[in-house]
Structure 1
Amino acid sequence: MSEIYNVYCDESCHLENDGQRAMVLGGVWCPAGKRQEISQRVREIKVKHGLGKDFEIKWTKVSQAKLSFYKEIIDYFFDDDDFHFRGLIVPDKTQLNHDVWGQMHDDWYYKMYFTMLKVIFDPKAKYRVYLDIKDTIGADKITKLHDILCHNSYDFSREVIERVQQIHSHESEQLQVADLLIGALSYLHRDLSTNAAKLKLIERIKQRSGYRLTCNTLMREAKFNLLIWNGGGK
Protein backbone atom coordinates (compact mmCIF):
# COMPACT_ATOMS: atom_id res chain seq x y z
CA MET A 1 0.00 0.00 0.00
CA SER A 2 1.34 3.42 -0.97
CA GLU A 3 2.30 5.91 1.72
CA ILE A 4 -0.02 8.94 1.80
CA TYR A 5 1.41 12.42 2.45
CA ASN A 6 -0.35 15.67 3.23
CA VAL A 7 1.19 18.83 1.73
CA TYR A 8 0.15 22.24 3.14
CA CYS A 9 0.93 25.18 0.85
CA ASP A 10 0.91 28.95 1.23
CA GLU A 11 2.39 31.95 -0.53
CA SER A 12 3.56 35.49 0.03
CA CYS A 13 3.52 38.46 -2.38
CA HIS A 14 2.39 36.32 -5.32
CA LEU A 15 0.20 38.90 -7.09
CA GLU A 16 1.55 40.53 -10.23
CA ASN A 17 1.07 44.15 -9.23
CA ASP A 18 1.24 44.11 -5.43
CA GLY A 19 4.25 46.42 -5.30
CA GLN A 20 6.51 43.73 -3.80
CA ARG A 21 9.63 42.50 -5.58
CA ALA A 22 10.14 39.09 -3.96
CA MET A 23 7.59 36.26 -4.06
CA VAL A 24 7.65 33.07 -1.99
CA LEU A 25 5.73 29.84 -2.52
CA GLY A 26 6.17 27.05 -0.02
CA GLY A 27 4.72 24.07 1.70
CA VAL A 28 5.23 21.78 4.65
CA TRP A 29 4.55 18.09 4.29
CA CYS A 30 4.19 15.06 6.49
CA PRO A 31 2.82 11.51 6.37
CA ALA A 32 -0.97 11.66 6.59
CA GLY A 33 -0.81 9.27 9.54
CA LYS A 34 1.27 11.80 11.50
CA ARG A 35 -1.05 14.76 10.91
CA GLN A 36 -2.92 14.46 14.20
CA GLU A 37 0.24 13.90 16.24
CA ILE A 38 1.88 17.03 14.79
CA SER A 39 -1.25 19.11 15.32
CA GLN A 40 -1.49 17.98 18.92
CA ARG A 41 2.17 18.77 19.63
CA VAL A 42 1.83 22.29 18.19
CA ARG A 43 -1.27 22.88 20.30
CA GLU A 44 0.62 21.74 23.39
CA ILE A 45 3.34 24.31 22.68
CA LYS A 46 0.67 27.00 22.32
CA VAL A 47 -0.82 26.13 25.72
CA LYS A 48 2.64 25.90 27.31
CA HIS A 49 3.23 29.55 26.36
CA GLY A 50 -0.09 30.75 27.74
CA LEU A 51 -1.90 30.82 24.42
CA GLY A 52 -5.17 29.12 23.59
CA LYS A 53 -4.91 25.88 21.63
CA ASP A 54 -6.85 27.64 18.86
CA PHE A 55 -4.37 30.54 18.68
CA GLU A 56 -3.42 30.98 15.01
CA ILE A 57 0.30 31.05 14.30
CA LYS A 58 1.06 33.76 11.75
CA TRP A 59 4.24 35.51 10.66
CA THR A 60 2.45 38.86 11.00
CA LYS A 61 1.94 38.15 14.72
CA VAL A 62 5.63 37.59 15.53
CA SER A 63 6.66 39.97 18.30
CA GLN A 64 9.20 40.22 21.11
CA ALA A 65 6.51 39.19 23.61
CA LYS A 66 5.88 35.91 21.75
CA LEU A 67 9.43 35.29 20.51
CA SER A 68 10.11 32.33 22.82
CA PHE A 69 6.89 30.69 21.62
CA TYR A 70 7.74 31.11 17.95
CA LYS A 71 11.30 29.88 18.54
CA GLU A 72 9.91 26.72 20.11
CA ILE A 73 7.63 26.18 17.13
CA ILE A 74 10.65 26.49 14.82
CA ASP A 75 12.65 24.11 17.01
CA TYR A 76 9.79 21.59 17.02
CA PHE A 77 9.62 21.69 13.21
CA PHE A 78 13.33 20.94 12.90
CA ASP A 79 13.25 18.27 15.61
CA ASP A 80 10.38 16.26 14.09
CA ASP A 81 11.73 13.88 11.43
CA ASP A 82 8.28 13.56 9.83
CA PHE A 83 7.89 17.30 9.18
CA HIS A 84 9.46 18.80 6.03
CA PHE A 85 9.52 22.12 4.13
CA ARG A 86 10.03 23.11 0.51
CA GLY A 87 10.22 26.76 -0.53
CA LEU A 88 10.60 28.59 -3.84
CA ILE A 89 11.73 32.22 -3.86
CA VAL A 90 11.43 34.54 -6.85
CA PRO A 91 13.79 37.39 -5.84
CA ASP A 92 12.47 40.02 -8.24
CA LYS A 93 9.11 39.81 -10.00
CA THR A 94 9.85 43.05 -11.87
CA GLN A 95 12.25 41.08 -14.07
CA LEU A 96 9.45 38.88 -15.39
CA ASN A 97 8.50 39.31 -19.03
CA HIS A 98 5.38 37.26 -19.62
CA ASP A 99 4.79 38.67 -23.14
CA VAL A 100 8.07 37.23 -24.41
CA TRP A 101 7.02 33.77 -23.25
CA GLY A 102 3.43 34.09 -24.48
CA GLN A 103 1.89 33.64 -21.05
CA MET A 104 -0.23 35.42 -18.47
CA HIS A 105 0.88 35.91 -14.88
CA ASP A 106 -1.54 33.16 -13.79
CA ASP A 107 0.06 30.70 -16.25
CA TRP A 108 3.48 31.45 -14.78
CA TYR A 109 2.06 31.15 -11.25
CA TYR A 110 0.90 27.59 -11.96
CA LYS A 111 4.32 26.74 -13.41
CA MET A 112 5.96 28.02 -10.24
CA TYR A 113 3.64 25.92 -8.07
CA PHE A 114 4.59 22.82 -10.02
CA THR A 115 8.28 23.74 -9.82
CA MET A 116 7.93 24.18 -6.06
CA LEU A 117 6.10 20.88 -5.52
CA LYS A 118 7.70 18.53 -8.04
CA VAL A 119 10.68 17.62 -5.87
CA ILE A 120 8.30 16.46 -3.14
CA PHE A 121 6.33 14.03 -5.29
CA ASP A 122 7.39 10.38 -5.31
CA PRO A 123 5.54 8.34 -7.98
CA LYS A 124 5.32 5.43 -5.54
CA ALA A 125 3.40 7.52 -2.95
CA LYS A 126 0.12 9.43 -2.84
CA TYR A 127 -0.34 13.12 -2.03
CA ARG A 128 -3.12 15.34 -0.79
CA VAL A 129 -2.35 19.01 -1.34
CA TYR A 130 -4.04 21.66 0.81
CA LEU A 131 -3.89 25.39 0.13
CA ASP A 132 -4.82 28.27 2.38
CA ILE A 133 -8.13 29.81 1.35
CA LYS A 134 -7.50 33.23 -0.17
CA ASP A 135 -9.73 35.55 -2.18
CA THR A 136 -7.15 35.44 -4.98
CA ILE A 137 -7.39 31.66 -5.40
CA GLY A 138 -10.89 30.53 -6.26
CA ALA A 139 -12.30 27.08 -6.94
CA ASP A 140 -11.50 27.36 -10.66
CA LYS A 141 -7.82 28.01 -9.90
CA ILE A 142 -7.71 25.02 -7.55
CA THR A 143 -9.14 22.78 -10.26
CA LYS A 144 -6.66 24.10 -12.82
CA LEU A 145 -3.75 23.70 -10.41
CA HIS A 146 -4.71 20.07 -9.82
CA ASP A 147 -4.90 19.51 -13.58
CA ILE A 148 -1.48 21.09 -14.15
CA LEU A 149 0.20 19.22 -11.30
CA CYS A 150 -1.13 15.89 -12.57
CA HIS A 151 -0.37 16.64 -16.23
CA ASN A 152 3.20 17.74 -15.58
CA SER A 153 3.75 14.75 -13.30
CA TYR A 154 2.30 12.35 -15.93
CA ASP A 155 -0.25 11.43 -13.27
CA PHE A 156 -3.17 11.43 -15.68
CA SER A 157 -5.25 9.04 -13.59
CA ARG A 158 -4.62 11.10 -10.42
CA GLU A 159 -3.27 8.12 -8.58
CA VAL A 160 -0.31 10.10 -7.15
CA ILE A 161 -1.82 13.55 -6.55
CA GLU A 162 -5.16 12.45 -5.14
CA ARG A 163 -6.56 15.85 -4.31
CA VAL A 164 -5.90 19.58 -4.28
CA GLN A 165 -8.25 21.54 -2.06
CA GLN A 166 -8.54 24.68 0.03
CA ILE A 167 -8.71 24.78 3.82
CA HIS A 168 -8.77 27.54 6.43
CA SER A 169 -5.41 28.17 8.06
CA HIS A 170 -6.94 28.45 11.53
CA GLU A 171 -8.06 24.82 11.16
CA SER A 172 -4.58 23.47 10.37
CA GLU A 173 -1.47 23.72 12.55
CA GLN A 174 0.63 22.50 9.62
CA LEU A 175 -0.60 25.34 7.42
CA GLN A 176 0.20 27.79 10.21
CA VAL A 177 3.79 26.50 10.38
CA ALA A 178 4.01 26.91 6.59
CA ASP A 179 2.87 30.54 6.98
CA LEU A 180 5.60 31.12 9.55
CA LEU A 181 8.42 29.70 7.42
CA ILE A 182 7.24 31.39 4.22
CA GLY A 183 6.82 34.69 6.06
CA ALA A 184 10.39 34.48 7.32
CA LEU A 185 11.75 33.86 3.82
CA SER A 186 9.67 36.71 2.40
CA TYR A 187 10.84 39.11 5.11
CA LEU A 188 14.48 38.21 4.45
CA HIS A 189 14.27 38.44 0.67
CA ARG A 190 12.42 41.77 0.77
CA ASP A 191 15.32 43.16 2.84
CA LEU A 192 13.07 44.16 5.72
CA SER A 193 14.60 44.84 9.12
CA THR A 194 12.20 46.85 11.31
CA ASN A 195 11.06 44.00 13.57
CA ALA A 196 13.85 42.72 15.85
CA ALA A 197 11.87 39.63 16.90
CA LYS A 198 11.37 38.60 13.27
CA LEU A 199 15.09 39.02 12.60
CA LYS A 200 15.89 36.81 15.59
CA LEU A 201 13.47 34.16 14.35
CA ILE A 202 15.11 34.23 10.92
CA GLU A 203 18.47 33.70 12.61
CA ARG A 204 17.00 30.70 14.45
CA ILE A 205 15.86 29.21 11.13
CA LYS A 206 19.32 29.78 9.65
CA GLN A 207 20.93 28.15 12.67
CA ARG A 208 18.63 25.12 12.74
CA SER A 209 18.60 24.56 8.97
CA GLY A 210 22.32 25.14 8.48
CA TYR A 211 21.56 27.37 5.48
CA ARG A 212 21.89 31.10 4.79
CA LEU A 213 18.41 31.04 3.18
CA THR A 214 19.71 33.05 0.21
CA CYS A 215 21.05 30.13 -1.87
CA ASN A 216 19.67 26.91 -3.28
CA THR A 217 19.90 23.77 -1.24
CA LEU A 218 20.64 20.46 -2.91
CA MET A 219 17.58 19.22 -4.79
CA ARG A 220 17.35 16.13 -2.58
CA GLU A 221 17.58 18.08 0.69
CA ALA A 222 14.71 16.48 2.64
CA LYS A 223 14.20 18.69 5.68
CA PHE A 224 14.43 22.31 4.56
CA ASN A 225 14.59 22.52 0.79
CA LEU A 226 14.99 25.86 -1.02
CA LEU A 227 15.06 26.97 -4.64
CA ILE A 228 15.98 30.55 -5.55
CA TRP A 229 14.28 30.72 -8.94
CA ASN A 230 15.94 32.61 -11.77
CA GLY A 231 14.15 31.78 -14.96
CA GLY A 232 15.58 34.43 -17.24
CA GLY A 233 12.24 36.23 -17.38
CA LYS A 234 9.98 33.21 -17.90
Structure 2
Amino acid sequence: MDFEVYCDESGLEALNQKKAHLFMAIGGVWMPSENRKEFKEGINKIKEKHNISGELKWNKVSPAYFDLYKDLIDFFFTTEYIRSRVLIVESDKVDNIKFNNADAELGFYKFYYQLLHHWIYDFNNYSIFVDLKVNRDKSRIKTLEKKLDLANLTSDIKYIQGLPSHESVGIQLADFITGLVAAKFNKEIVSEAKKGLISHIEHNYLKKEINHTPKYEEKFNVFKINLQGGW
Protein backbone atom coordinates (compact mmCIF):
# COMPACT_ATOMS: atom_id res chain seq x y z
CA MET A 1 0.00 0.00 0.00
CA ASP A 2 1.18 3.54 -0.73
CA PHE A 3 1.42 6.04 2.13
CA GLU A 4 2.32 9.70 2.40
CA VAL A 5 3.92 11.30 5.45
CA TYR A 6 4.03 15.07 6.07
CA CYS A 7 6.45 16.38 8.70
CA ASP A 8 7.44 19.52 10.56
CA GLU A 9 9.23 20.45 13.77
CA SER A 10 8.85 22.83 16.70
CA GLY A 11 11.45 24.40 18.98
CA LEU A 12 14.42 23.29 16.90
CA GLU A 13 16.60 25.96 18.50
CA ALA A 14 16.54 23.95 21.75
CA LEU A 15 19.08 21.52 20.26
CA ASN A 16 21.67 24.31 20.27
CA GLN A 17 20.35 26.53 23.05
CA LYS A 18 19.37 24.29 25.95
CA LYS A 19 17.53 27.07 27.76
CA ALA A 20 15.36 28.00 24.77
CA HIS A 21 12.76 25.31 25.54
CA LEU A 22 12.47 22.23 27.73
CA PHE A 23 11.57 20.14 24.68
CA MET A 24 12.04 20.06 20.93
CA ALA A 25 9.48 18.19 18.84
CA ILE A 26 9.30 16.62 15.39
CA GLY A 27 5.92 15.46 14.13
CA GLY A 28 4.39 13.70 11.18
CA VAL A 29 0.97 13.11 9.68
CA TRP A 30 0.44 9.73 7.96
CA MET A 31 -2.24 8.89 5.39
CA PRO A 32 -2.84 6.48 2.48
CA SER A 33 -1.90 8.13 -0.82
CA GLU A 34 -5.35 7.30 -2.19
CA ASN A 35 -6.87 9.74 0.33
CA ARG A 36 -4.69 12.73 -0.61
CA LYS A 37 -7.36 14.45 -2.73
CA GLU A 38 -10.06 13.90 -0.12
CA PHE A 39 -7.73 15.21 2.60
CA LYS A 40 -6.86 18.38 0.69
CA GLU A 41 -10.52 19.03 -0.06
CA GLY A 42 -11.41 18.61 3.62
CA ILE A 43 -8.74 21.06 4.79
CA ASN A 44 -9.58 23.58 2.08
CA LYS A 45 -13.28 23.46 3.01
CA ILE A 46 -12.34 24.46 6.56
CA LYS A 47 -10.22 27.34 5.25
CA GLU A 48 -13.02 28.47 2.94
CA LYS A 49 -15.58 28.30 5.76
CA HIS A 50 -13.46 30.72 7.79
CA ASN A 51 -12.40 32.82 4.80
CA ILE A 52 -8.72 31.96 5.23
CA SER A 53 -6.33 31.70 2.30
CA GLY A 54 -2.95 31.62 4.09
CA GLU A 55 -1.09 28.88 5.91
CA LEU A 56 -2.42 27.02 8.90
CA LYS A 57 0.17 27.17 11.70
CA TRP A 58 0.24 26.71 15.45
CA ASN A 59 1.95 30.08 15.81
CA LYS A 60 -0.98 31.76 14.06
CA VAL A 61 -3.53 30.62 16.65
CA SER A 62 -5.36 33.60 18.17
CA PRO A 63 -8.84 34.30 19.58
CA ALA A 64 -9.95 35.47 16.12
CA TYR A 65 -9.04 32.09 14.61
CA PHE A 66 -10.06 29.85 17.50
CA ASP A 67 -13.03 28.32 15.66
CA LEU A 68 -10.91 27.71 12.57
CA TYR A 69 -8.38 25.64 14.50
CA LYS A 70 -11.08 23.93 16.54
CA ASP A 71 -12.58 22.75 13.25
CA LEU A 72 -9.13 21.56 12.18
CA ILE A 73 -8.85 19.49 15.36
CA ASP A 74 -12.31 18.02 14.81
CA PHE A 75 -11.42 17.16 11.22
CA PHE A 76 -8.26 15.35 12.30
CA PHE A 77 -9.87 13.31 15.07
CA THR A 78 -12.97 12.37 13.08
CA THR A 79 -11.14 11.46 9.86
CA GLU A 80 -10.25 7.81 10.22
CA TYR A 81 -7.50 7.59 7.59
CA ILE A 82 -5.23 10.25 9.18
CA ARG A 83 -2.76 9.45 11.95
CA SER A 84 -0.15 11.57 13.68
CA ARG A 85 3.03 10.88 15.61
CA VAL A 86 5.08 13.46 17.54
CA LEU A 87 8.58 12.79 18.85
CA ILE A 88 9.44 14.80 21.98
CA VAL A 89 13.11 15.41 22.82
CA GLU A 90 14.23 16.70 26.22
CA SER A 91 16.72 19.38 25.23
CA ASP A 92 19.04 19.28 28.24
CA LYS A 93 19.57 15.52 27.76
CA VAL A 94 20.92 15.94 24.21
CA ASP A 95 24.71 15.54 24.05
CA ASN A 96 25.77 16.59 20.57
CA ILE A 97 29.44 16.56 21.47
CA LYS A 98 29.43 12.93 22.58
CA PHE A 99 27.04 11.45 20.04
CA ASN A 100 26.98 13.79 17.02
CA ASN A 101 30.53 15.14 16.67
CA ALA A 102 29.27 18.50 17.99
CA ASP A 103 26.87 18.66 15.03
CA ALA A 104 23.35 19.56 16.15
CA GLU A 105 22.08 19.24 12.59
CA LEU A 106 23.22 15.61 12.49
CA GLY A 107 21.47 15.02 15.83
CA PHE A 108 18.27 16.55 14.45
CA TYR A 109 18.17 14.13 11.52
CA LYS A 110 18.88 11.19 13.83
CA PHE A 111 15.74 12.18 15.71
CA TYR A 112 13.90 12.44 12.40
CA TYR A 113 14.92 8.83 11.74
CA GLN A 114 13.45 7.77 15.08
CA LEU A 115 10.16 9.53 14.31
CA LEU A 116 9.76 7.78 10.96
CA HIS A 117 11.39 4.38 11.33
CA HIS A 118 9.00 2.94 13.91
CA TRP A 119 5.94 3.72 11.79
CA ILE A 120 7.24 2.19 8.58
CA TYR A 121 5.62 -1.20 8.13
CA ASP A 122 6.49 -4.15 5.90
CA PHE A 123 5.40 -4.28 2.26
CA ASN A 124 4.36 -0.63 2.00
CA ASN A 125 5.66 2.30 -0.07
CA TYR A 126 6.28 5.67 1.56
CA SER A 127 6.56 9.17 0.09
CA ILE A 128 7.77 11.56 2.80
CA PHE A 129 7.50 15.34 2.67
CA VAL A 130 9.37 17.54 5.14
CA ASP A 131 9.24 21.27 5.70
CA LEU A 132 11.90 22.79 3.45
CA LYS A 133 14.90 24.16 5.31
CA VAL A 134 18.46 25.15 4.47
CA ASN A 135 20.86 22.54 5.82
CA ARG A 136 24.56 23.08 6.30
CA ASP A 137 25.09 19.60 4.88
CA LYS A 138 23.09 19.39 1.65
CA SER A 139 23.02 15.58 1.75
CA ARG A 140 20.99 15.29 4.98
CA ILE A 141 17.66 14.38 3.38
CA LYS A 142 19.16 11.87 0.94
CA THR A 143 21.12 10.27 3.78
CA LEU A 144 17.96 9.99 5.88
CA GLU A 145 16.16 8.41 2.94
CA LYS A 146 18.99 5.90 2.42
CA LYS A 147 19.18 4.95 6.11
CA LEU A 148 15.43 4.39 6.30
CA ASP A 149 15.52 2.27 3.16
CA LEU A 150 18.35 0.12 4.51
CA ALA A 151 16.57 -0.37 7.82
CA ASN A 152 13.26 -1.38 6.18
CA LEU A 153 14.17 -3.90 3.50
CA THR A 154 10.62 -5.10 2.85
CA SER A 155 9.28 -1.57 2.40
CA ASP A 156 10.21 1.13 -0.08
CA ILE A 157 11.03 4.70 0.88
CA LYS A 158 10.23 6.14 -2.53
CA TYR A 159 11.68 9.54 -1.64
CA ILE A 160 11.96 12.22 1.01
CA GLN A 161 11.30 15.68 -0.39
CA GLY A 162 11.55 19.14 1.14
CA LEU A 163 8.54 21.34 0.40
CA PRO A 164 7.72 24.94 1.37
CA SER A 165 4.96 24.65 3.96
CA HIS A 166 2.67 27.07 2.10
CA GLU A 167 2.48 24.50 -0.74
CA SER A 168 1.34 21.60 1.45
CA VAL A 169 -1.71 21.45 3.72
CA GLY A 170 -0.29 18.16 5.03
CA ILE A 171 2.80 19.93 6.34
CA GLN A 172 0.56 22.67 7.73
CA LEU A 173 -1.43 20.11 9.72
CA ALA A 174 1.84 18.57 10.94
CA ASP A 175 3.02 22.05 12.02
CA PHE A 176 -0.18 22.62 13.98
CA ILE A 177 -0.21 19.27 15.77
CA THR A 178 3.53 19.30 16.50
CA GLY A 179 3.43 22.87 17.79
CA LEU A 180 0.44 22.08 20.02
CA VAL A 181 2.10 19.02 21.58
CA ALA A 182 5.41 20.86 22.05
CA ALA A 183 3.60 23.78 23.71
CA LYS A 184 1.89 21.42 26.13
CA PHE A 185 5.18 19.80 27.14
CA ASN A 186 7.06 23.10 27.35
CA LYS A 187 4.47 24.69 29.64
CA GLU A 188 4.99 28.04 27.93
CA ILE A 189 1.44 28.78 26.82
CA VAL A 190 0.01 32.17 27.75
CA SER A 191 -2.55 32.39 24.93
CA GLU A 192 -6.07 31.57 26.10
CA ALA A 193 -6.94 30.46 22.56
CA LYS A 194 -4.10 27.93 22.54
CA LYS A 195 -5.05 26.71 26.01
CA GLY A 196 -8.60 26.30 24.79
CA LEU A 197 -7.56 24.17 21.81
CA ILE A 198 -5.46 21.90 24.01
CA SER A 199 -8.38 21.58 26.41
CA HIS A 200 -10.68 20.75 23.50
CA ILE A 201 -8.49 17.79 22.54
CA GLU A 202 -8.04 16.60 26.10
CA HIS A 203 -11.70 16.76 27.11
CA ASN A 204 -13.44 15.78 23.89
CA TYR A 205 -11.09 13.25 22.32
CA LEU A 206 -8.38 11.95 24.65
CA LYS A 207 -10.33 12.11 27.94
CA LYS A 208 -6.99 12.84 29.64
CA GLU A 209 -4.09 15.29 29.47
CA ILE A 210 -1.77 15.20 26.48
CA ASN A 211 1.25 13.13 27.47
CA HIS A 212 3.50 10.45 26.05
CA THR A 213 1.51 7.46 24.80
CA PRO A 214 2.08 3.72 24.42
CA LYS A 215 3.69 2.61 21.16
CA TYR A 216 0.43 0.97 20.07
CA GLU A 217 -1.47 4.28 20.12
CA GLU A 218 -2.18 4.84 16.43
CA LYS A 219 -4.29 8.00 16.13
CA PHE A 220 -2.48 10.58 18.28
CA ASN A 221 0.88 9.10 19.20
CA VAL A 222 3.37 11.03 21.36
CA PHE A 223 6.80 9.44 21.76
CA LYS A 224 9.00 10.96 24.45
CA ILE A 225 12.38 9.52 23.61
CA ASN A 226 14.54 8.24 26.48
CA LEU A 227 18.06 9.67 26.18
CA GLN A 228 19.24 8.44 29.58
CA GLY A 229 19.55 4.72 28.85
CA GLY A 230 18.61 2.10 31.42
CA TRP A 231 15.66 -0.26 31.27
Common fold: TM-score over 0.5? yes
Please state whether the residue corresponding to 1:99 is helix, strand or coil. Answer: helix
Unpaired stretches in structure 1, ≥5 consecutive residues: none
Distance 1:46 1:105, change over 3 A: same
CA contact (8 A) 1:31 1:82 kept: yes
Matched residues in 2 for 1:140 and 1:84: separation?
28
Partner of residue 204, structure 1: 200
Partner of residue 85, structure 1: 84
CA contact (8 A) 2:113 2:148 kept: yes
**One-letter code of the match for 1:214?**
N
Return the offset for 1:49.
1.4
Percent identical among aligned pairs is 30
Judge which range, 182-191 or 69-78, deviates more. 182-191
Unpaired stretches in structure 2, ≥5 consecutive residues: none
Return the offset for 1:197.
0.4
Matched residues in 1 for 2:196 and 2:168: separation?
25
**One-letter code of the match for 2:114?**
T
CA contact (8 A) 1:28 1:84 kept: yes
5 Å-filtered alignment, 1:19-58, equals: 19-52=20-53, 55-58=54-57
Partner of residue 167, structure 1: 163
Matched residues in 1 for 2:163 and 2:30: separation?
15
Q: Kindly provide the CA deviation profile for residues 161-190 of structure 1, in whole angstroms up to 9, marking residues without a partner as x.
A: 111111111111111111100111121122
Please state whether the residue corresponding to 2:162 is helix, strand or coil. Answer: strand
Q: What TM-score does the superposition give when structure 2 sets the normalisation length?
A: 0.89
Distance 1:137 1:45, change over 3 A: farther
CA contact (8 A) 1:185 1:213 kept: yes
CA contact (8 A) 2:16 2:104 kept: no
Please state whether the residue corresponding to 2:139 is helix, strand or coil. Answer: helix
Q: Kindly provide the CA deviation profile for residues 33-90 of structure 1, in whole angstroms up to 9, marking residues without a partner as x.
A: 10111111110111111223xx210111100011011000000000000111011101
Partner of residue 134, structure 1: 133
Identify the match of residue 9 of structure 1 among 7, 10, 23.
7
Matched residues in 2 for 1:50 and 1:162: separation?
36
Partner of residue 124, structure 2: 125
How large is the Cα RMSD of the aligned pairs? 2.1
CA contact (8 A) 1:127 1:162 kept: yes
Return the offset for 1:232.
1.0
Return the offset for 1:102.
6.0
